[in-house]
Every structure is written in C-alpha cells, then in structure tokens.
C-alpha cells in the first residue's frame, strides 16, 4: 500500500459474498420442526471478538484483507448484515447475551458490578440440559468475580496464567487440546478473545502487515482520545491499520480453531456463532476512539456469523438483512434447546424464522445503552435517535440518506424524533419495572468491594484501560 500523503480518498465498500440463493419461504411446517429438533443434539460454539466492528471485516466488504479465514467461514454460514450490540461495553453487552436482559435490568454500571444472582445465565441453561459447559476468557471484564463463570463446568480465565499477554495465539494451547479431548461429548464452548481490542500490537507476522506502509505513525500503546485533536489524517489511518492488524491476527486463530473442529469431524456437528461484544470507534466523528462513550455506528454495528449443520435438505440464505441484536442469540438458542426462560421477559427474538424468509423482520427497533451516566440509542432500519439523560442535545439521524450517522437532523425532524423518543421512554419505564420485579433491593448494593477482586483480574482491567 502506498504511503499516505495529502488528500485521503475513500470508497464506500459493499459486502462481497457468494451469489444470493433464492430461498423460498417454507413456513413453519414439519421440515422446520424436524430441523430444529435436530439442532438440539448439536454442540454450540460461541466465539467473541472483543471490540470488533463489522465494517472492518473483509467479509463485510472492507477493502483490506483483514479476515480471510472468516471470509471462508462465511461461505458456509449465514452472515447477518445488520447486527447491533445492545451496550457499548463488554460486561454490559455480554451480560445481555448471557441473560437476555438489557443494561437497565442488569444494572452493570461500574467496574465492580456483577450479574444479578436472580438471573439465569446461558451456561446455566445449557447445564440444566446436561450439556457440558466450558469457557475460555482472556478478558477480566467477564471474570467469574462478576458472575460470568456461573453455570460453567470449567471456566478458564487465561489472563490468570503466567506469561499470558492477551494475544489470541496464546489461546490455542488450551482450546485445541480441549476440542481433541471433548470431541465425543455434547458441549457448549465459549471463547472470548481480547483482540482486536486495543492496544493494537499483535504478534508477528501480523505486526506491520498494514502499518508498515505508512510514513506517519503514532504510539499505539497510549490512550488515543487525549491526543485525538493533534492527529493528522495519516496518523488516524495508521491507527486504523493497527486495528486491522489485530483483527487479522485473531482471524487467523479463529481459522485454526475451525480447522481443528473440521479435522476432528465436529464442525458439522456444531452450531458455530462468531460475533462481537461491541464495536470500536476509530476517529470518525468528533475524533472519538475506543468504545463506551458514544453511539457511533462503528461502536454498535457488530459482525455476526452463524454456521448451522446441514441437514434435512435445507438451504440457508447467504445473508440476512433484518435488524438483529445481541439478545437475539440467547433467544435463538432458547428456541433450539427449549430453555426455560425467566418469565419470558427477555427482549430477544429467535432468528430461526429468518432462515426461511430472509426478507422478514423480527425487530422493528433495537436499543443500545451506555453504562455510567445513562445514554440510549433507539435504532430502526431507517432512523437513529440518541438520547442522553444529562440534558445533552437530542441527536436524530436519517440512515437512508446518511448511513454513517454523521449529520444530526433533529431540528428538521422534531415530530418524528419525538415519536421515537416516546417509544424509548416507554421502553425505559417497562425495563425499570422488570428490574424492580425480578431483582431484590437496590442494584448498587450488589456491587462487590474492590478488595474482593483478585489481583490478576485487576491487573487485566488496568491493561485494558478500565481502571488506573
């Protein structure tokens, strides 16, 4: 790639996939039911790429070859083009994926918050079905200290290991032998990688793969927001290239895991989900980097691939364009395994009907939340409303004409914006009532004392920039 000098010219990428198949809606008849029953006997593998934004995956049309292994995987899977995270930070979004409840109910607002004990986790649901449950986590935000180990027969917190530096390649000596020894078991496997989360410093041969072509650089080990106003266009592009190297690195490891599953004969016996907890902002609007503070498209739009075992002669669509969200994954697995969901109050919708009719919609809207001082994003396919509880200006975007949500058109669309705002406030009220009904006492009292968090977890959270 040429060095960046002067004007930067960008071309909007589009998702490049195998040709779309004509999938004729079959209705929810016997074939569907037989197929769904067959899925309940399969393994489930959930792979999380931390802070992965969809538009930097080459399988989503990105111009760099960042994800060749997931490109290949996508040829056998269903790619969901419009998947969004329901929270901007790891613990909140993974809490939603694991329980089906949003941040308003979970109340995971601080570094010491834990999943409420009244809520059943995904691993506990699998465990009740006598399915072996194992997790590999290299991220302290999903520590067992915060309730994420509940329901796992084995929960390996890899950051506790000596000489573990949060690199995706370091997972392989643990995950690959586990697959070998459990190939004859029915299991739920959760693997949570730290990459492509900052710092953007992968191992060789990925380090320098994209950044090596730049004349301008910046220290990628520092927090970027304090220096954002001083960065040149070339330096911002260098940062994005560093992020892409992290993504290419973890993609290679996912590829090795998938190939191991294939060689063991268990890939075709498994439902494999690859997604992210949330995305990452890379200096687009107001020069914001990272995640957690603003509802930019790059921070909310996440990749989602689901590979279903081929059976009953069913053809799956290559892509699904419906608006989907994090909690839909739990609802989908609950649909497959007939989990006993708590009071049917979760917000997720099963994605299985979309495989029969890819043009259908299961979510008229989705809501993403910010921890700490509350903030909300109410999003439909056509519009996006951002509402801050601290009396900041309302933001409203016309996504059909402004897909990157760069131009606030609230003043020109006050009536429509307030229609959405009314829906958002009703949603907040309903979820607050659910929280009060399900949880006992003040959620803030549930936070564990910082002294109860072990030093390895604190060290990992410091490395990730969550505490000083």
Helices (H), ranges, 188-326: 233-264, 297-300
Q: Does an H or E element contain 194, and which? A: strand 187-196
Tokens of 160: 């506790």
Counting Cα atoms < 13 Å in the Cβ hemisphere of 154 gives: 15
Average pLDDT score over residue span 439-455: 58
Residue 68 has pLDDT above 80, yes or no: yes
Residues contacting 167, CB < 8 A, separation 6+: 194, 195, 202, 203, 249
pLDDT in tens, 386-401: 999 877 899 999 999 9
Q: What is the mean pLDDT of the chain?
A: 87
Distance in angstroms (rounded) separating the CA atoms of residues 314 and 207: 42
Find the helix or strand (DSSP H, E) in which 388 lies.
strand 383-388
Report the pLDDT averaged over residues 45-55. 97
Residue 5 has pLDDT above 70, yes or no: no
Pairing of strands 281-282, 319-325: unpaired
Q: Which domains does the chain have, with CATH numbers?
A: 35-364+455-463 (3.40.720.10)
pLDDT digits over 164-182, tens only? 667 999 999 999 999 999 9
**What pLDDT does residue 446 have?**
54
pLDDT at 322: 96
Q: What are the structure tokens assigned to 63, written together?
A: 């111009």
User: What is the pTM for the complete model shown?
Assistant: 0.89
């Amino acid at each position: 790639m040429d060095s960046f000098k002067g004007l930067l010219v960008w071309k909007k990428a589009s998702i490049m996939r195998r040709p779309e198949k004509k999938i004729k809606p079959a209705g929810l008849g016997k074939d569907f039911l037989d197929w769904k029953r067959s899925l309940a006997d399969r393994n489930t593998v959930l792979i999380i790429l931390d802070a992965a934004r969809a538009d930097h995956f080459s399988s989503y049309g990105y111009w760099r070859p960042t994800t060749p292994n997931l490109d290949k995987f996508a040829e056998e899977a269903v790619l969901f083009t419009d998947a969004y995270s329901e929270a901007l930070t790891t613990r909140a979004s993974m809490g939603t994926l694991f329980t089906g409840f949003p941040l308003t109910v979970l109340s995971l607002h601080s570094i010491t918050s834990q999943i409420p004990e009244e809520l059943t986790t995904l691993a506990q649901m699998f465990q009740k079905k006598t399915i072996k449950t194992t997790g590999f986590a290299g991220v302290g935000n999903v520590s067992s200290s915060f309730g994420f180990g509940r329901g796992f027969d084995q929960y390996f917190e890899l950051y506790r290991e000596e000489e573990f530096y949060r690199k995706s390649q370091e997972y392989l000596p643990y995950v690959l032998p586990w697959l070998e020894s459990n190939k004859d078991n029915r299991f739920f496997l959760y693997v949570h990688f730290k990459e492509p989360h900052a710092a953007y410093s992968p191992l060789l041969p990925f380090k320098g793969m994209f950044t090596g072509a730049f004349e301008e650089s910046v220290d990628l080990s520092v927090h970027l927001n304090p220096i954002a106003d001083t960065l040149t266009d070339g330096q911002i592009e260098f940062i994005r290239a560093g992020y892409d190297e992290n993504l290419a690195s973890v993609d290679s490891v996912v590829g090795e895991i998938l190939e191991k599953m294939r060689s063991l004969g268990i890939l075709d016996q498994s439902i494999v989900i690859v997604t992210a907890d949330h995305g990452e902002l890379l200096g687009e609007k107001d020069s914001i980097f990272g995640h957690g503070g603003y509802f930019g498209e790059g921070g909310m739009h996440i990749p989602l691939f689901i590979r279903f075992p081929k059976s009953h002669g069913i053809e799956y669509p290559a892509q699904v364009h419906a608006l989907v969200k994090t909690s839909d994954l739990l609802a989908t697995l609950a649909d497959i395994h007939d989990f006993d969901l708590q009071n049917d109050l979760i917000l997720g919708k099963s994605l299985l009907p979309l495989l029969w009719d890819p043009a259908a919609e299961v979510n008229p809207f989705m809501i993403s939340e910010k921890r700490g001082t509350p903030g909300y994003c109410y999003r439909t396919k056509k519009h996006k409303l951002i509402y801050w509880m601290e009396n900041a200006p309302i933001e409203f975007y016309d996504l059909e004409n402004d897909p990157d949500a760069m131009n606030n058109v609230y003043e020109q669309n006050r009536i429509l914006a307030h229609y959405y705002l009314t829906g958002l406030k009703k949603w907040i009220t309903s979820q607050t009532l659910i929280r009060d009904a399900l949880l006992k006492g003040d959620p803030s009292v549930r936070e564990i004392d910082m002294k109860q968090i072990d030093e390895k977890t604190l060290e990992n959270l410091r490395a990730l920039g969550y505490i000083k």
